Amino acid sequence: MEATKKGFNFKQFISNNIMWVVLVVLAVALTAVRPAFFTVANLTTLISAESVKGIITCGVCWCILSAGIDLGPGAVAALSAVVAASLAQPADLATRLHPGGIHLPAIVCIIVAMVIGGIVGIICGWLVACTHIHPFIATLGSQLICRALAKMYSSSPVSNLDQGFRNFAVYKILGIPMVVFIFLIVFIISWFMMTQCRFGKNIFAIGGNKQAARVAGINVEKNLILTYMWSGLMAGLAGAMLAARTGSADPSTNGLQYEFDAIAAATIGGTSQTGGICKMSGVMSGILILGVINNGLVLLGANDNITQVIKGLIIVVAVVFDMRKNAVRP
C-alpha cells in the first residue's frame, strides 16, 4: 500500500536514467541544428561505426569493473584485423599479402582474430593477477607490443578482402548492417554474464574489495585472468569486424585510440573507476552518447582536434563525478 501511495517518482526516474536523457537532448539539439543528423543514412552510419567500438567497450567495462583498466584493445584489434584480413584475401589475388598462403573461410578468420585477442588477454590477465603488475602498465605494454607486431606483420594496408568475410559486417538485414546485430549479441551476452552468472557476481565482488572476495572463497586470480581474456576476445572480434566493415586492415590506424573511446563510454555510463559498479544499460547509453557526439561534430565540420579535446574533457569530468559520488566507499 505504501508503494502505491508514493506513485511514480519522476525525479528518481530522471536521476536513474540521466544519461539516456542526455542522449535524447543531444539528438534533438543536433537534429535542430543539422537536420541531416536524423536521417536513415546517417543513423545507419553512426550505429555501424559505434558497433565496433561498442564491442570493445563490452570487454573493457569488465576490466574497469574489476578495479583495473585495459589500454590494449585498440592495438589488439589492429593486430587481429591485419591477420584476419590476410587470411580472408582470395587465394588467386595478385597483390595478396602472402602469395601462395592459405585462404580460410570467413568464420575461421574471425575465430583466428578472437583467438589472438584472447591470448593477449590471458597474458595481460596473468600479469595483473599473478605478478601484481598494475593493469595500466601491463596493458600499456600489450598496446605497444601489439601495435608493433601489427606493423611487422604488414607494413601496408591489407585490402581486397573476400566478400564472404565482408558480409559479416556489411550485409544488411532490414536495412541494418550485420555488425550491429553482432554488437547486440555481444552486449546481451555481456549483460547476461554480468547479471545472471556467478562470474559476474565474482567480478563485482573483486572490484568492490579484492581481499573480502578472497576471504569469501572467490578465486581472484582465475577470475581476473578470465576478465582480461574476455576483453581480449572482444578486441579481436572488433578487429575482424573493423576489417570486414571497411574492406581493409591498416596496421597503423586501425583501432587507434579505440580503447579511450571504450573507457570514456563505460565511465559516462556509470562504470566506476574504483571498481565494483557497472550497469550494461549505462554502458550502452555511454556508447551511444559518444557516437552521437562524434557524428554530430563531423556534421558540424568541427576540427578533429576539437573532437579529441571534447572526448578528453568528457573522460575527466566523468571520472571526477564518479570519484565524488563514490567518495564514501571504503
pLDDT (0 to 100) of residue 180:
95
Is the model's pLDDT at 6 over the cut of 80?
no
Residues 124-159: tens digit of each pLDDT: 999 999 999 999 999 999 999 999 999 999 989 999
Is the model's pLDDT at 66 over the cut of 60?
yes
Is the model's pLDDT at 14 over the cut of 80?
no
Is the model's pLDDT at 270 over the cut of 50?
yes
At residue 323 the predicted structure's pLDDT band, cuts being 50, 70 and 90, is low
Is the model's pLDDT at 306 over the cut of 60?
yes
pLDDT (0 to 100) of residue 250:
94
Is the model's pLDDT at 330 over the cut of 70?
no
pLDDT (0 to 100) of residue 326:
61
24 vs 304, more confident? 24
Chain mean pLDDT for the chain? 90
- % the chain with pLDDT above 90: 69
3-state SS of the chain? CHHHHHCCCHHHHHHHCHHHHHHHHHHHHHHHHCHHHHCHHHHHHHHHHHHHHHHHHHHHHHHHHCCCCCCCHHHHHHHHHHHHHHHHCCCCCCCCCCCCCCCCCHHHHHHHHHHHHHHHHHHHHHHHHHCCCCHHHHHHHHHHHHHHHHHHHCCCCECCCCHHHHHHHHCEECCEEHHHHHHHHHHHHHHHHHHHCHHHHHHHHHHHCHHHHHHCCCCHHHHHHHHHHHHHHHHHHHHHHHHHHHCCECCCCCCCCHHHHHHHHHHHCCCCCCCCCCCHHHHHHHHHHHHHHHHHHHHCCCCHHHHHHHHHHHHHHHHHHHHHHCCCCC
Q: Quick one: average pLDDT of 9-36?
A: 85
Q: Quick one: average pLDDT of 295-305?
A: 86
pLDDT (0 to 100) of residue 229:
98
pLDDT (0 to 100) of residue 282:
92
| Poorest-pLDDT segment among 90-94, 219-223, 275-279, 324-328 | 324-328
